[in-house]
Chains A and B, each alone.
Chain A
Amino acid sequence: MSPKLVRAEHDATSRRDRPLRITVDGEPVDGIQGQTLAGLLLASGRHAWRHGPSGAPRGVFCGIGVCFDCLVTVNEERDVRACRRRAADGDVVTTQSRTPRQDEEHT
């Protein structure tokens, strides 16, 4: 139904997960250390977290820092590419919108 993290016990790479927790728009979300914010958000069942100028939802598109679709605000820093930023325990993530009615600031 959704993107998901390969479970550590099934992972051919024999990885060891160390948990971390961030908040997204105030809601606690669990992830593991080393995940990008985009990977963490996708694995938590979120596929969109930003709105385009028309209000259309956006999530990850290019995954490598080129398209700027996945921008979020992290600890009050705006316009952080979620696919390029590693999640840190306690990160406060808020979603962004380019829809003029909701948010006058342009990203």
Chain B
Amino acid sequence: MSPKRSEQARRHVAVIGAGPAGLSAAYAALAAGACVTLVDSAEQPGGQYHRMLPEAYAARRPERLQHGWRAFDRRRHQVLEHPRCTWLPETSVWMLERPDPEQARERGGPPRVHLVSGPADGTGRTRCTLDADALVLAVGAHDRVLPFSGWELPGVFTAGAAQALAKGERVAVGDRVVVAGSGPFLLPVAASLLEAGSRVLAVLEANTPVTVARGWTRRPWELAAQPGKTAELAEYTVALSRHRVPYRMGRAVVEARGEGRVEEVVTARLRADWSVVPGTEHTVAVDAVCVSHGFSPQLELPVAAGCALGRRQASPSEISGHPGASSPAPSPTNEFVLVDDGQRTSVAGVFAAGEITGIAGAPAARAEGAVAGWTAAGGAPSARALRTLLRSRDQGRAFAERLARAHPVGEAWPGWLRPETVVCRCEETDYGSLCAALTDRAGADPRVVKLNTRAGLGPCQGRICGPTVAELTGRFGGPQRQVRDSTGRPVEGLAQAAPHRRPIAQPVRLGELAASPMPLEDHPPRQSHP
């Protein structure tokens, strides 16, 4: 199906992220006849979903830990070994350079990609730049964890960390573990922990059975369109019941305690809005707790590229079914990259796929990636394969909506915070100081709050506490600053983007900055034009 073209006329598509969406985008772009540069910060493709064991483990049965291994294994070989694909592992995008308007008219195309290759955070990595005809952003998401007292103790992990350690290097994070938070992701994490030999004491879903059931049983025919996902979840449920792990709904970890590390957690029953039911607290001895309250899309690259963001999923108050509940200010926690039917973002030549356009899981990410890669490569919009892809993408989006409805973040969660609860882990800013800063009228500008409390100014640059601080700011009625472009006009769709604005997307060392970067075309690790 690939049109015949001379090498010069081939479009060059850069794909950032080699998880389900990125790998699929690379495959589709290659199928459409483009040259592809696939970039990922890990040594191997797969992303968080298909997290692979290190090659040094010389595992003979890696498929034992993987869902859909065969299809993934075939796809990664097809892409990485393709003569028109350049694979850049252990490579991070640290900056996207937007052309100034005049250059943009002249050169066209997406922002210039600045890359750094080599061992994570090492000195003397090599820097290069990449100018492609189209850019597909498929950078994924990370766990969103709401703060609770003691969450900064060692032994409190994100669910994603437990999963990465168990699947990616065979380390079980503890012997007695509680998995808590919200969403179906808690199930594979518990299953991985069990497989690695941990004792999982309980899986706690914060949402009540009514909320979960209402979300999942709404329009059941949509669920039938996701047989893979449904079967996968059923498998985890079987693993849990085989190990007699209780799955409790309407219960959450509201505190972690211990001397220098977590020794026990306090769980409590929650109402539909996640307010704690007094007197239902229960203490459990643990040596690890794994928490996830959903996912935060990694928006720094889309924001750096200038992509418009917006809400794709309904807000918690729309979901919880309490029409009387006060509607919280629109929060950046449910913002995603806006894309059209061809996965185009608002920026010419920039496409987005996977979790950054809405949390929908691997099958939807694959479908979106394929559409993005095909469109980015200039593939015919009338292709028959595209129609199938669009259908499965739309089914994926319906699934995402269901997920959001069944597992919303209840708006009363700050009720379990205490004044001394750490909100910003890096700077140890506590909830009391943050509230004081937010209610101080003179200082309620988000920048002033940030400088006064230091929340979001630490090494993680607000990646962890950003959504929480933004949500609390919204509730205290803080001003919503408009992001303005270079001419001072408010940028449409970017009003909420401030928490993701990081000019440096990944840490880069001063020594590395001093060395001038090589354009990738001159120094490709592997010849991309055979």
Contacts and interface: CB of A to CB of B under 8 A. Distances in A.
A and B, one complex? yes
Interface of A: 1-6, 10-18, 32-36, 38-39, 42-43, 47-48, 52-54, 56-69, 71, 77, 79-81, 83-86, 107
B4 interface: no
A16 B154 CA distance: 30
14 contacts: A5-B169, A11-B170, A13-B170, A17-B57, A18-B56, A32-B56, A34-B56, A42-B173, A52-B426, A54-B428, A56-B152, A61-B464, A64-B164, A81-B120
Contact of B160 (A15, A42, A57, A63): A63
Contacts of B152: 52, 56, 58
Interface in B126-147: 142-143
A36 B169 contact: yes
Q: Most chain-B CB neighbours within 10 Å: which of A53, A63, A86, A107? A: A63
B288 interface: yes
Interface string B194-224: 0111000000000000000000000000000
A78 B418 CA distance: 34
B91 interface: no
Most chain A CB inside 10 Å of its own CB: which residue of B57, B59, B60, B170: B170
B53 interface: yes
A16 B171 contact: no
B22 to A, nearest CB: 16
Contacts of B162: 63
A86 B90 CA distance: 11
A33 B60 CA distance: 16
Contacts of A33: 54, 56-57
Contact of A68 (B165, B196, B459): B459
Say whether chain B's binding surface is mostly helix, strand, loop, or mixed: loop
Interface string B408-429: 0000000000000000011110
Interface string B35-64: 000000101000010000111111111101
A39 B260 contact: no
Most buried by B among A66, A69, A86: A66
Nearest to B460: A68
A62 B464 contact: yes
B235 to A, nearest CB: 15
A71 B459 CA distance: 9
Interface of B: 41, 43, 48, 53-62, 64-65, 119-123, 142-143, 152-158, 160-165, 169-175, 195-197, 260-261, 287-288, 425-428, 458-460, 463-464, 507
A42 to B, nearest CB: 6
Nearest to A63: B161
B287 A63 contact: no
Given A63-B160, A81-B120, A42 B165 contact: yes
B161 A64 contact: yes
B459 A107 contact: yes
Contacts of B64: 12-13
Given A33-B56, A34-B55, A39-B165, A84 B155 contact: no
A32 to B, nearest CB: 8
B53 A34 contact: yes
Contact of A77 (B123, B156, B158, B163): B123
Max chain B C-beta neighbours (<10 A), residue from A35, A43, A79: A35
Nearest to B506: A65
Given A13-B64, A16-B57, A77-B123, A69 B427 contact: no
Nearest to A85: B120
B170 A48 contact: no
Given A56-B428, A85-B121, A13 B165 contact: no
Nearest to A60: B161
A60 B261 CA distance: 12
A52 to B, nearest CB: 6
Most B C-beta atoms less than 10 A away, residue of A3, A35, A36:
A3
Nearest to B63: A13
A9 B507 CA distance: 39
Contacts of A58: 152, 154
